[in-house]
Amino acid sequence: MLNPWTFGGLSLAELIRRTARESWEDSVFGQGGRMAFYHFLAIFPALLVLLTISARIPHLGEHMKNVLQDLSSQVLPDQVSLLFQKMTDELSAHTLSSGQFLIVCAGAVWAALNGTWAMIYGLNRAYEVQEGRSLGRLALTIAGLTVALTVAGSAAVFLIFCSARLHLDAIGVRILEWLVLTALLALSFAVLYRFAPNLSHHDWRWITPGALCAVILWIGTSLAARVYFDHIDDYSRSYGHLNGVVMYLLWLYVTNGAILIGGEMNSEIEKAVANRHGAKQDPSG
């Protein structure tokens, strides 16, 4: 059984070098841009749905909005967080009829499914496999992964909401929030790397080097983006009032790229293991 933590016999430096080379050759950030576009289209309708449902539960709507805004201030650069908070204020003030609610849900689902499909395509390329699943099986995979990621995201918001209700000091709440985010990110990546690429025999693993790499890159790029946009250049001179939108798209772009880079790392480990086994079985060797 493959132990990915041996790196397939590669040194860490060699694994990183191969991962970087393959990521460049597979244009992971080009695919990340496609994913970012659909995720951008999905996020605000999904927030509207969440806030609409929360508003119908006594005392929950305002608390949920506050949790989402606080979470955005922890993860996103200041200008992006301000955009997010302004949007949640506007969305929470909307009153939707049943028909409008269904239309918003349909738009969010369409964008989310396309984002998942783009992720599957990118991970197939990372693992160097062709998409050979039947249309029905592929549709079920896309739907299942979309639901799984939605549940993971909702669970993160719910757990952070619960932590905010605990009598913890500010530092304790922040630590708990980041622990919840990190754990659910790792779980989401495990689900993606197991079920998204078209691999018939692929073991389930709770954590892989690629998943750890993706989590580190996600956290690292989020922190780096905060430092850059908050202290170096907030793009206001280039994009004016659209600077928050541009920064949000860039944040989605690099974080989606991190997911694909993690897949590239896992793929390089599996290729190294396959090459070692092939060499051992070669009688001429």
Give 200-254 pLDDT, tens digit per residue.
777 778 888 888 898 888 888 888 878 888 778 777 777 887 888 888 888 888 8
Q: What letter would DSSP give residue 166? A: S
Residue 142: predicted pLDDT:
93
Residue 94 clears pLDDT 80, i.e. is over it: no
Residue 284 clears pLDDT 50, i.e. is over it: no
The residue with greater pLDDT, 50 or 115, is 115
pLDDT tens digit string along 28-64?
A: 888 888 888 888 888 888 888 877 877 777 666 677 7
- Per domain, the residue ranges of the chain are 4-279
Q: What letter would DSSP give residue 205? A: -
Question: Which residue's entry shows tokens 């009688």?
Answer: 283
Report the alpha-carbon distance of residue 67 to residue 44 in Å, rounded.
16
Residue 160 clears pLDDT 50, i.e. is over it: yes
Tally of CA atoms within 13 A in the half-sphere of 8 that contains its CB: 23
Written as one letter, the residue type at 183 is A
What lies within 8 Å, CB to CB, of 238 at 6+ separation is 246
Structure tokens at 140: 């079920």
